């Protein structure tokens, strides 16, 4: 079910539980600002999620409320992960769903990194 991204942060969401170590994940990278792990239901040969350590519902919440250091740290982590996965030369796609029309399912900001094959046009029609 898609979530309403205007609602307050729910600390019982599944990515909050992953950040607290309450449920397992397949970690790709972690630093002070971000955790990156394999998506449980991959939509491409490489499908990694990068999430900020802070409690932000979606991109809107993050861009409005996160500190400059959090935004810089999270953005650099996404770039670092894509680079370390070897995706720069073949190319990759970033996606951050926000709210109902985008079908965001987990109410903790996450950026999808897709790669490992030609991904085709951007939007399904
Ligand atoms: P979105 O529709 O942008 O909210 O995407 C949520 C993503 O989280 C989906 O691609 C799911 O497959 C993924 N996901 C849900 N639960 C887990 C989990 N426990 N570990 C890894 N990925 C997950």
Q: What is the pLDDT of residues 36-71, one digit of tens each?
A: 999 999 999 999 999 999 999 999 999 999 999 999
pLDDT of residue 122: 83
The pLDDT of residue 81: 98
Look at phi and psi of residue 103 and say left if phi exceeds 0, alpha if psi is from -120 to 50, else beta.
Answer: left
What does the pLDDT read at residue 110?
A: 98
Does the Cβ of 39 fall within 6 Å of ligand 1? Answer: yes
Q: Is 19 in the pocket of ligand 1 (CB under 6 A)?
A: no
Q: Which pLDDT score is estimated for 25?
A: 98
Across 23-33, average pLDDT: 98
Ligand 1 pocket mutation, candidates 48, 49, 93, criterion most atoms within 8 A of CB: 49
Q: How far is CA 69 from the centre of its chain?
A: 18
Q: pLDDT tens digit string along 89-108?
A: 999 999 999 999 999 999 99
């Amino acid at each position: 079910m898609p979530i309403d991204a205007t609602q307050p942060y729910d600390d019982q969401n599944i990515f909050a539980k992953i950040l607290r170590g309450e449920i397992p994940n397949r970690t790709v990278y972690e630093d002070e600002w971000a955790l990156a792990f394999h998506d449980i239901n991959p939509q491409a040969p490489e499908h990694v999620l990068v999430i900020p350590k802070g409690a932000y519902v979606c991109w809107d919440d993050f861009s409005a409320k996160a500190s400059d250091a959090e935004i810089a740290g999270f953005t650099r982590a996404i770039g670092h992960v894509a680079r370390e996965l070897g995706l720069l030369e073949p190319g990759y796609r970033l996606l951050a769903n926000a709210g109902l029309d985008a079908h965001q399912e987990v109410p903790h900001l996450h950026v999808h990194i897709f790669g490992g094959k030609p991904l085709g046009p951007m939007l399904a029609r």
